[in-house]
A and B are shown apart, each in its own frame.
Chain A
Amino acid sequence: MNNIFVYCEVTEEGTIADVSLELLSKGRKLANELNIKLEAVVIGDQITEIESQLFPYGVDVIHKAQDSRLFPYTTLPHAAIVTNLFKEAQPEIALFGATSIGRDLAPRVASALKCGLTADCTSLEIGDHTENKTQKTYKNLLYQIRPAFGGNIIATIINPDTRPQMATVREGVMKQEIVSKSIKGEVNVLDIDKYLSNETDFVIEIIERHVEQQKVNIKGAQIIIAGGYGVGSKENFNLLFNLAEVIGGEVGASRAAVDAGYVEHARQIGQTGVTVRPKLYIACGISGAVQHRAGMDQSAKIISINSDPKAPINKIADYTIIGSVSDIIPKMIKYYKANSK
Chain B
Amino acid sequence: MYICKLFNKQNKSIFDTMSFRIVVLAKQVPDTRNVGKDAMKADGTVNRAALPAIYNPEDLNALEMALRIKKMRNDVEVIILTMGPPRAAEIIRESIYRGADKGYLITDRKFAGSDTLATSYAISLAVKKLAPYHLVISGRQAIDGDTAQVGPQAAEKLGIPQITYAEELISVDENHIVIKRRLERGIEVVKSPLPALLTVHSSAPDCRPRNAKLLMKYKHARTVTELQEETRDYTELYTKRPYLQIEEWTVADLDADVEMLGLSGSPTKVKKIENVVLQQKDSVNLTDSDKDVESLIKELLATHIIG
- Interface set of A (CB-CB < 8 Å, partner B): 72, 74-76, 79, 99-100, 103-104, 106-108, 110-112, 114-120, 129, 143-144, 147-162, 203-214, 223, 247-248, 266, 279-280, 290, 300-301, 303, 309, 312, 314-324, 327-328, 331-332, 335-336, 338-341
Contact = CB atoms under 8 A, between A and B. Distances in A.
Contacts of B281: 315-318
Given A111-B117, A209-B188, A153 B162 contact: no
A87 B105 CA distance: 36
A210 B270 contact: no
Given A129-B271, A161-B267, A321-B288, 5 more contacts: A117-B117, A211-B183, A212-B186, A280-B300, A328-B288
A251 to B, nearest CB: 15
Identify the interface centre among A99, A115, A147, A210: most chain B CB within 10 Å of its CB.
A210
Contact of A280 (B117, B178, B290, B305): B305
A50 B211 CA distance: 56
B253 interface: no
Determine chain A's interface SS by DSSP, over half rule: mixed
A152 B50 CA distance: 14
Contact of B32 (A120, A152, A323, A340): A152
23 contacts: A106-B149, A111-B156, A112-B156, A119-B146, A119-B147, A144-B268, A149-B32, A150-B144, A153-B276, A159-B268, A207-B189, A208-B189, A212-B185, A315-B281, A315-B283, A320-B283, A321-B288, A321-B296, A322-B286, A327-B288, A331-B288, A331-B294, A338-B294
A142 to B, nearest CB: 11
B252 interface: no
Interface string B266-292: 111111111110111101111110101
B95 to A, nearest CB: 23
Contacts of A212: 185-186
Given A117-B116, A336-B307, A203 B192 contact: yes
A154 B274 contact: yes
B165 interface: yes
Identify the interface centre among A100, A107, A205, A213: most chain B CB within 10 Å of its CB.
A107
